[in-house]
Amino acid sequence: MLVAFAANLLVAVAKSVAAAVTGSASILAEAAHSWADTGNEVFLLIAHRRARRPPDSAHPLGHGREAYVWSLLAALGLFVAGAAVSVTHGVQELLHPAPATDFVVGYVVLAVSFVLEGLSFLRSVRQARPTAELMQRDLIGAVMATSDPTLRAVFAEDSAALIGLVIAAVGLGAHQLTDSSTPDAVGSILVGVLLAAVATFLIDRNREFLIGEEADPRVRAAAIRALLAEPEVARVTYLRLEFVGPRLVSVIGDVDLSGDDAESNVAVRLRALEAKIDASPAVAGTVLSLSAPDEPSLTA
């Protein structure tokens, strides 16, 4: 993330200089986009570090949900600093058109930015592929569903950056060809709309994880199979896997233990089973109860 922060900062400075030199509304929108991405990297870095803090007496399930809080703030920043500025400037350009100059400078900056953003996007794709394979989903579906808000934010922002650069280049080119600032202004507005759509998606996904989202059905089925594979477990009648952080779930379930032990022995066996499940790095905490005889069994 430090590399991404440095790259976004350099791109933001370059776009800002190009926007000042050319007077292009589209490039100014892209500069606002890059400054928003730079700020977001700070939020995501904070999210990554604070979410990894170990559990304590006040937070027995850890601090994983902090990742969603800071990622939501990053998405809000993208909406305000990126989308709002881009749309506002585009509208102002439509109402008070101004000619652009030094188009070559704009093209060079956009081309270099596209290469840098493309490299960042390829890195985010490589990071997302293992998640997609684990979840048995396509790449886009895995990014949308993953419990890791940093991965989702970086992938979405890199995708939006590449699309935004294409929009800015088309707007700048149309401005040069038509000698009218209208296409450039429309490009700025389109970049803003794109950022608003990405920010809205990220805000909504972080909101869903903050209020408690259950694990993917594939993960749930795998967890049921793992429980049934335990020699202690005869049946599973209830299971809830709720995300409490990136790739981290709490486990609540009802099981029927094998044999017919006394109540005191059953309690000991349940606690031992909970401890075994808690040993997984993907589990923040486990609470198991005994199933009632008439409860239907779950199947994977």
| Bridge partners (DSSP) listed for residue 241 | 251
**What's the rounded mean pLDDT across residues 225-252?**
93
Tell me the per-residue pLDDT of 251-272, one tens digit each, with 9 for 90 and over.
Answer: 999 999 988 777 678 889 999 9
**pLDDT, the chain, mean:** 88
Hey, what CATH topology would domain 2-211 get? Alpha-lytic protease prodomain-like (1.20.1510)
Of all residues in the chain, what percent carry a pLDDT higher than 90?
35
Q: Is pLDDT above 90 for 84?
A: no
Is the CB of residue 40 less than 8 Å from the CB of residue 80? no
Give the CA distances from residue 93 to residues 21, 36, 106, 201, in Å, rounded to whole numbers and listed in that order: 16, 21, 17, 28
Query: Does the pLDDT of residue 1 top 70, yes or no?
Result: no
| Interval 149-198: pLDDT, tens | 988 998 998 899 899 999 999 998 998 898 888 998 999 899 999 989 99
Query: Is 16's pLDDT higher than 70?
Result: yes
Provide the pLDDT confidence category of residue 12 given band limits of 50, 70 and 90: confident
Residue 20 CA: distances (Å) to CA of 9, 93, 102, 164, 224: 17, 14, 10, 18, 59
> What digits encode the pLDDT tens for the residues 87-137?
988 898 888 888 878 888 889 999 988 988 888 889 889 988 988 887 788
Pick the closest to residue 98 from 175, 202, 41 (CA basis). 175
Q: How many Å apart are CA 164 and CA 11, to the nearest integer? A: 13
Residue of 3 and 74 predicted with greater confidence: 74
DSSP per-residue letters across 224-238: HHHHHTSTTEEEEEE
The rounded distance, in Å, linking the Cα atoms of 224 and 221 is 5
Domain ranges of the chain: 2-211, 217-290
Compare 170 and 44 and report the one with higher pLDDT. 170
Amino acid (1-letter code) at residue 76: L
CATH classification (class only), 217-290 = alpha beta
Tell me the average pLDDT across 214-237: 90
pLDDT of residue 199 exceeding 80? yes
Element (H, E) at 12: helix 2-22
